[in-house]
Amino acid sequence: MFDLPVLNAPAQEASLYAPSDAATQDQAARKLYVETYGCHMNASDSEIVKGVMHSNGYAMTDKPDDADVILLNTCAIRDNAEKKIHERLKHLKFYKRRRQDLVIGVLGCMAERMREELVIQKNIVDLVIGPDEYRTLPALVEKAFQGEKGIAVKLSRVETYDDIEPLRTEGISAWIAIMRGCDKFCTFCVVPFTRGRERSRAAHLIVDETKRLWDAGFKEVSLLGQNVNSYHDDVAGTDFADLLRATARAVPEMRIRYTTSHPYDMSDKLIETMAEFDNICKYVHLPVQSGSDRVLQAMNRDYTVEHYKERLRKIKELMPGCALTTDIIVGFPTETEEEHHMTLELMREIRYDGAFMFKYSPRERTKAWKMEDDVPEETKTRRLNEIIEQQQRIATEINQALIGTIEKVLVEGEGRRDATKWKGRTDTNKFVMFPHLTDEASGKTAGYVVGDIVSIRITKATSMTLVGEIVA
């Protein structure tokens, strides 16, 4: 779930999609800065947080130096994710020294576990608020300005923030959280503990939101959930494939993506729905985690390698050009060298377009926490390097085979480093750079703007990026 850049997403005011209310006009409004770590779900939650605060009179800033309130939306998925937050908090202590009245809050997946440590021991943080308690933010921030510390970390069985308008940053791509929490309880994973039980939003509200986004100028939406295949609107009797179909029909020119699927319940119906609609992107992120049935069972993943491969056969049968990415964990407790080689072998056989690869990191409260973390660190590192190296080689080969082909690219805007190069994404979620054509006389963009879909002939390729030129 880490394919789109989510870290430190700019928090400037959204002109296209800001909820309009009196507070927007208040020039003296307090300023909020939100820094986001972790997955797309957190990025989407940060927009909900900004929506809540914006309608309570706060202005947004993308500079922590200008902020009256700094919120870190945290991730607890692996130890290094948590370490990053601790480092950041140490740094924020200096801000606090400079400005006594600055309010600092910790949100998201570290909230529950870190509440005591953060508020009581470290004295840096004024607020700790978990993923289901963002409605309490304005009141708790207000109290924090009066010097009162606030903690709200209860998880809910029903909260979906259905009525909150997320404050989206101006752009062409939007996230829509369609569900919250996770009931899968993979033995390595902390998410069911940090985000609580699974619950889905009403389908008609998601379809309406997509329509409004189209009217506001967005060209692409990503429907988000930890396990979208379990999505269910109990009132309407709608499953995820139905939702996808309804969304694709309602906004036929919107590019529609989704993430993440769980291989156990990736249904034929879902694959058939993807194949049926041109505007549903031909890209599937299907985390496999390991190439060994024994390890998969120890992870409580509920599927076998054969079941997984059979799902991929169905995907490729109906959508031959569909891109595939995955997540892999190396060094899960008891993983043998032979089992590691099974993972390498599976990755060679499937030939993923991309993979997010991790060393196993023990997480408190999970089942695997009670198992001995018995794969030595240097073995984990070596195994990780082996899969990364192999994957890079495969992805480079796959991408280089695209040289000479013409891809439809959704134009996202200037490249980060070089304004003469523009960037965009293919339907299959591949990142493409291309020289920006300007009309010499007027200096204006020749023929296309951000949000257009252009044809690009691919001329170069690496494991992560395609380079090409516009086809007239």
Across-strand partners of 255? 220
Q: Which partner, ligand F3S, ligand SF4, ligand SAH, none, binds residue 361 by CB below 5 to 8 Å per kind?
A: ligand SAH
Helix extents (H) in 321-370: 337-350
Among ligand SAH, ligand SF4, ligand F3S, none, the one that 185 touches (CB under a kind-dependent 5 to 8 A) is ligand SF4
Stretch that binds ligand SAH, among 92-100, 185-193, 307-315, 386-394 (CB under 6 A): 185-193
- Closest approach of ligand SAH to the CB of residue 347, in Å: 13
Query: Alpha-carbon Rg of the chain, whole angstroms?
Result: 23
113 binds, among ligand SF4, ligand SAH, ligand F3S, none (CB under 5 to 8 A by kind): none
Close Cβ partners of 94 (under 8 Å, ≥ 6 residues apart): none
Does 178 contact ligand SF4 by CB under 6 A? no
DSSP string, 169-234: PSSSEEEEE-EE------TT--HHHHH-S-EE--HHHHHHHHHHHHHTT--EEEEE-TTGGG-EET
Residue 78 binds which of ligand F3S, ligand SAH, ligand SF4, none (CB < 5-8 A, kind-dependent) = ligand SAH
Could you say which of ligand F3S, ligand SF4, ligand SAH, none residue 245 binds, taking C-beta under 5 to 8 angstroms by partner kind? Answer: none
| Min CB(426)–ligand F3S separation in Å | 25
CB nearer to ligand SAH: give 179 or 271: 179
Q: Tell me if 200 contacts ligand SAH by CB under 6 A.
A: no
Binding residues for ligand F3S restricted to 65-84, rule: CB under 6 A: 75-77
Please report whether residue 195 would count as binding ligand F3S according to CB under 6 A: yes
The answer to whether 287 contacts ligand SAH (rule: CB under 6 A) is: yes
Binding mask 65-104 for ligand SAH (x = CB under 6 A): ------------xx--------------------------
CA distance 136 to 134: 5
d(CA 372, CA 421): 50
Residues whose CB falls within 8 Å of the CB of residue 7, separated by 6 or more in sequence, listed in order: 36, 37
Stretch that binds ligand SAH, among 99-107, 121-129, 317-325, 355-363 (CB under 6 A): 355-363
- Please give the full DSSP string across 8-70, using - where no structure is assigned: T------TTTPPP-GGGG-TT--EEEEEE-SSHHHHHHHHHHHHHHHTTTPEE-S-GGG-SEE
Q: Is 154 helix (H, G, I), strand (E, B) or coil?
A: coil
Contact assessment for residue 435 and residue 420, using Cβ atoms and an 8 Å cutoff? yes
Distance of alpha carbon 443 from alpha carbon 394, whole angstroms: 41
Site residues (vs ligand SAH, CB under 6 A) = 1, 77-78, 188-189, 191, 226-227, 260, 262, 287, 289, 327, 329, 358, 360-361, 363
Footprint of ligand F3S (CB under 6 A): 38-39, 41-42, 75-77, 108-109, 190-191, 194-195
Question: Which residues bind to ligand SF4, rule: CB under 6 A?
Answer: 182, 184-186, 189, 191-192, 226-227, 262
